[in-house]
Amino acid sequence: MLRVRFYYDVVCPYSYMETHALEAGEDAGEVEVDWLPFELRPAPRPLLEPRGDHLRVDWTRHVYRRALALGIEIHLPRYQPRSTLPLAACLWAREQRRLRQFKHALYEAFFCEGEDIATDREIARAAGRAGLDPDEAIAAAYSPERVAQLREIRRDAEAAGVRGVPSLLTESGEAHWGMGGLERLLAGEPLVPRAD
């Protein structure tokens, strides 16, 4: 079976949309995915302005069009939080074998309901929706070990050529940045790495 690493961030609309393709591939038995959190804008990098030109232009020109074509509900978020805490909790949800459910609860809260998923309240709510213990999810989000694990995943990803999300990395070391990586891989087409 085809095995890939998939780097995602729960505040990235392209990660959210591409997650559907990767999960469909998993469900069809076409691919085994190692889901790896990769924070798009870790501190001290500046966050985007929620109503800034970059977001409004990108969403108007690209995000809404792609989401409509895929039949995925998505709305421009009211917040642009750091994703350290929710991604650390994702590492824990993966250990609990409930990552898919937890990720979707976070994505839906952020992209469909307009909530700030970096708050304790929303991390706990996502855990409850995923059938996980809300208090344990919050503890996991603040775990120094899991935050260190996020940094280690990022270091390894960057060493392998990953520069952003969503990114797909094959066992042979080929990288694809953006959407459509699995589709291209299954079709035998060349992958498109992010230019430095």
Percentage of the chain with pLDDT > 90?
Answer: 93
pLDDT of residue 68: 97
pLDDT of residue 112: 97
Q: Band of the pLDDT at 49, cuts 50, 70, 90? A: confident
Q: Of 35-44, 50-59, 64-73, 170-179, which gets the smallest average pLDDT?
A: 50-59
Q: How far is CA 103 from CA 19, 67, 70, 192, in A?
A: 9, 18, 18, 25
Q: Band of the pLDDT at 51, cuts 50, 70, 90? A: confident
Q: Of 37-41, 44-48, 143-147, 151-155, which gets the smallest average pLDDT?
A: 44-48
Q: In this structure, what are the phi and psi dihedrals at residue 169, rounded to the nearest 5 degrees?
A: -130, 125
Amino acid at 146: R
pLDDT of residue 195: 79
In whole numbers, what is the pLDDT of the chain averaged over residues? Answer: 96
